[in-house]
Structure 1
């Protein structure tokens, strides 16, 4: 049975730099969610913002990749996350439930996989995804998108950068053994920052 782990994939990609990560982050990603036994995290977003272009892209994409690009401005609302695996599947899935203020909750699920070339890929729905580059800075884990694509029957078709929401930057910053910050920014080459999310999370028992 395949037991996928983000930690194992990140160790492979980072090589010796894995040891530069804060030990709490290493321990967090070393956990393997067995099928039927997901990992649970809860927290809140202190910031959810998008530009005018972000709102347009968010509303246009909502029917296809609901939640990947939320066209809202909000703050201080709870978020629940499940990280899980499936039987005989090498991907790791993340389901996020955003409990927005004065709106219906939004659920968004993505999954992370390793390509045949050893790349880290994240899929957000309808075959759309991005390649991710990993880095370690000050003991914290950083992700940066390196191109978006549309996967059709196993063939990855690159999307022109200017026709995407922009380059994605994510920082996983450690606070303590059971708490971490996440900050996500998407920046378009011509139109600047299109989306921002920032929040704090902790692991909880099932």
Structure 2
């Protein structure tokens, strides 16, 4: 997520009108991709990323981590990231049960994402992050300790893809963009439609020198 081509996002453009029969429609993800590409996505994908999670409402998804593969460098990176909240899977393995919950960040105007991943030994791993609809790409993910990454969103046939553009560290109102040599490489998260309320989640982190660091494949269903 530290590098990659940047796509210009017009954050000043008027928001697409919500369907007249759905007062809880959320256009924030929709406005990050071209209209034709969004409309070509399967209904299930568009619906999941168009929920207005107002008040106490939360969206939950249950499933399993089919596999997690960490290289030696990926394992080391995951352990170092414990200092900022352990945003990466800590061990290789699978299958394991998993639950994801998404709720609205009412103060910040974004979303909180909480992931609970089972492990072969010990307590499940808890991963928390916050998405904000801000920054030069229109979407950022904050993972703790002031660290975050800017994301580029694109629609590809039956999938919505979130690719890293760059990483940053924020202290108060000051923000510092991290240089490439400090970055773990390119991070890509794919949400792929499987039909009948099921979808696949894939996480890949690839370093330009050390190759693939993290490869995680999971299957979820609407709860």
- Report the TM-score when normalising by structure 2: 0.83
SS at match of 1:169: strand
Structure 1 pair 6/186, CA: closer, same or farther in 2 (3 Å)?
A: farther
For 1:116 and 1:172, the matched residues in 2 are separated by 22
Contact 1:57 1:71 in 2 (8 A): no
SS of equivalent to 1:85:
strand
User: What's 1:35 paired with?
Assistant: 55
Question: Is 1:193 paired with 2:189?
Answer: no
Aligned ranges for residues 9-24 of structure 1 at < 5 Å?
Answer: 9-16=28-35, 17-24=37-44
* Structure 1 counterpart of 2:21: none
Residues 161 and 6 (structure 1), Cα distance of their counterparts in 2 relative to 1, 3 Å cut: farther
Structure 1 segment 1-206 matched on structure 2, within 5 A: 7-16=26-35, 17-66=37-86, 68-115=87-134, 117=136, 119-204=138-223
For structure 2, the 5+ residue unaligned runs are 1-23
Residue 18 of structure 2 corresponds to none
In 2: Cα distance, 1:73 partner to 1:103 partner: 14
More divergent stretch after superposition (122-131 vs 56-65): 56-65
Shift of residue 154, structure 1, vs aligned partner: 2.7
Q: Between Structure 1 and Structure 2, how many residues are aligned?
A: 199
CA displacement, residues 54-75 of structure 1 (integer Å, 9 cap, x when unaligned): 1111112213222x12231111
Post-superposition CA distance 1:133-166 (Å, at most 9, x none): 1111123111110011111213321112232222
**2:123, 2:189 → 1: CA distance?**
26
CA gap 1:156/1:119 in 2 versus in 1, 3 angstroms: farther
Cα offset for 1:28?
1.4
Structure 1: gaps (5+ residues): none
Q: Distance in 1 between matches of 2:155 and 2:186?
A: 18
Structure number having the greater helix percentage: 1
- Change in 2 beyond 3 A, CA 1:154/1:115: farther
2: CA distance between counterparts of 1:144 and 1:92? 18
Paired residue secondary structure (2:153): strand
Residue 58 of structure 1 aligns to a residue whose secondary structure is helix
Does the Cα contact within 8 Å between 2:135 and 2:150 map onto a contact in 1?
no
